[in-house]
Chain A
Amino acid sequence: MATTPRQNPDLQQYWRANLKLVSVLLVIWFVVSYGFSILFVDALDQVRIAGFKLGFWFAQQGSIYVFVVLIFVYVLAMTRLDRKYGVNEE
């Protein structure tokens, strides 16, 4: 079957949707690790939850949990995106 992938507008749209998803997830990634755990750590430390200062908790626990969740959200969203544009693997 002949395909013309180069100028396929669907694929361009797929790529744009992909970039948008990745940007949103990376903003969260940045805010949690560099924001909560480094830049604003002292402000968050004023709050205490379950025995932890919040900034310290993000730096040594919370950020890692968020990283794991981000990847699984990405996996699910991309699976849906692949199907929507019919580029999923069999």
Chain B
Amino acid sequence: MSIQAWTTALVGVSFTLYIGIAIWTKARSTSEFYVAGKGVHPLANGMATAADWMSAASFISMAGIVSFMGRDGSVYLMGWTGGYVLLALLLAPYLRKFGKFTVPEFVGERYYSQSARLVAVVCAIFVSFTYVAGQMRGVGVVFSRFLEVDITTGVIIGMAIVFCYAVLGGMKGITYTQVAQYCILIFAYMVPAIFISILLTGHAVPQVGFGSTLIDGSGISLLDKLDQLNVDLGFDQYTNGSKGTLDVLCITAALMVGTAGLPHVIIRFFTVPKVSDARLSAGYALLFIAILYTTAPAVAAFSRTNFIETIHNKPYSEAPSWFKNWEKTGLVKWQDQNDDGLMQYQGKHAKNSGAPVKNELSVDRDIMVLANPEIARLPNWVIALVAAGGLAAALSTAAGLLLVISTSISHDLLKSVFMPEITERKELMYARIAASAAVLVAGYFGAHPPGFVAQVVAFAFGLAASSFFPAIILGIFFKRMNKEGAITGMLTGIIFTAGYICYFKFIDPAANTSENWLFGISPEGIGTLGMLLNVTVALAVAKFTSPPPAEVREMINRIRVPRH
């Protein structure tokens, strides 16, 4: 069977499964729509959280980024997992005890203020839209490469599927589809990784194969070989870093704190029955995430080795079929600079004795995971499996984000601000309408991506880190924090972080180099500074304004204890 036939079959089966689950789990009340009736088993919630969290970026892009950045790529590996420790220890159990539906709702009640709630709603909607556009794009790319339809058709098919289970089932439908999607995506990620690990090192566990000796008879280890290949071609050593230490610290911290502050992740912990379940399901979630995240750096190293060995200095006329296939998408390009018909791949430190040789290959990092099985010449069904896995990752995250957008609109804006008298039935209807509208907007951005999608990812994490996270943490751990402090803190954090990112990404992109950055901190890491500013300002303002009312202190006492 051809790749295309296999892909059609596997994607068709997985989509049928998602729709089946959607029909089985139709939501009947707002509680079911918003938090799955708080009846999700912690293990199921762990899987759902893992699928919710691991997006097209984790599945498709991350190993590729690590493979091109080497040790510098560790910021993503640690940043996107370390946040779960913060989430489990500092947020999840208390927010579950609070026992309402949304993150802005907590902010609003803890700070006895509709303005605080509004600031939180705007952040939640902005962060979620930023993120969801990227997911729909991922869906489109997978469709166009593997099923040879155009990107817009791919996006529309993806929208139709998400529409079915997010609009019908709400959180309940999303949760159980995410469980299925986790199983599909982790299987799809592990199968090629295990195959390639065996081919290169003889070890079936990629995490072990990563550090092992190659079985090509050379007797050197994979990482030594990769260091040597990188240096020979004029790149930095794979296992060494080239970013500034402070910058690496700040990026890692911003990603960790941002992860813990993202509303679509936090909201998942509202769906379990008990406080102890919230703690436990955070543990399961990270365990399930760690399976992929510890495999990703191994995949990164394998694919870079295979890529260099099959392409560098090989005649273009004999280029492997995957190279020609990806060339059609424009994501790999070869330009013969010295007319020798060979494909030369070189880094910035390359010194050329004799004839001038320049780098002739440009490779988009996003293709490494998708092309990896083809590069290693794995069977067609494995390649198709990766396509189905990429779609599962993108769709599961998109659904979680759409739910946050719809609850923010129906519950935090309509119900709490504009029409407080609304009945539950009506609210549920508006939630569905908001979800449908959000699907359409997301689809539009997926098909016509604004040029800045890639740049604004820093925004999502930076804003979550500099707004939600400090406000929630202070709200739980510092009783004296009042609304004046929290609101000025959030606004300071957001304005500082957003201003810094806007300046370097949009206003003066040419100045986006380490010499111009504040303390050498890149826009990706500036959320950390924004968070510190938020906390400092909040504490200072709270000191000079009146303490929160007694009933708020009472509420804090209540959420700190699992049973009262």
Interface positions of A (Cβ within 8 A of B): 3, 5-6, 11, 14-15, 18, 22, 25-26, 29, 33-34, 37-39, 41, 45, 50-53, 56-57, 59-61, 63-65, 67-68, 70-72, 74-75, 78-79, 82, 87-90
Contact = CB atoms under 8 A, between A and B. Distances in A.
B308 interface: no
Contacts of B153: none
Contacts of B283: 68, 71-72, 74-75
A63 B82 contact: yes
Given A33-B82, A64-B78, A71-B88, 4 more contacts: A33-B252, A51-B222, A68-B287, A79-B276
B60 interface: no
A11 B557 contact: yes
A66 to B, nearest CB: 9
Nearest to A19: B477
Given A3-B564, A60-B77, A67 B82 contact: yes
B213 A51 contact: yes
Contact of B221 (A5, A6, A51): A51
Contact of A51 (B78, B88, B211, B276): B211
B563 interface: yes
Contacts of B252: 33-34, 38
24 contacts: A5-B558, A6-B557, A11-B560, A26-B85, A33-B252, A34-B249, A37-B74, A37-B78, A38-B245, A38-B248, A38-B252, A51-B222, A56-B71, A59-B77, A60-B294, A61-B210, A68-B283, A70-B85, A72-B283, A74-B88, A78-B93, A87-B561, A87-B564, A89-B275
A67 B80 CA distance: 11
B223 interface: yes
A25 B290 CA distance: 19
A68 B276 contact: no
- Which range contains the number of B residues in contact with the other chain? 35 or more
Contacts of A70: 85, 89
A25 B82 CA distance: 12
Nearest to B207: A61
B562 A89 contact: yes
B562 A38 contact: no
Nearest to A62: B294
Q: Is the interface of B mostly helix, strand, loop or mixed?
A: helix
Contacts of A72: 283
**Which of A14, A68, A78, A89 gathers the greatest number of chain B CB atoms within 10 Å?**
A68
A3 B561 CA distance: 14
Contacts of A75: 88, 276, 279-280, 283
B287 A61 contact: no
A3 B90 CA distance: 26
Contacts of B71: 41, 56, 59-60
Contact of B89 (A15, A26, A50): A26
Given A60-B297, A71-B84, A50 B290 contact: no
Given A11-B557, A51-B221, A65 B74 contact: no
B77 A67 contact: no
B564 A88 contact: no
B37 to A, nearest CB: 17
A6 B222 CA distance: 60
A72 B287 CA distance: 10
Given A11-B557, A59-B74, A89 B563 contact: yes
B212 A88 contact: no
A61 B290 CA distance: 9
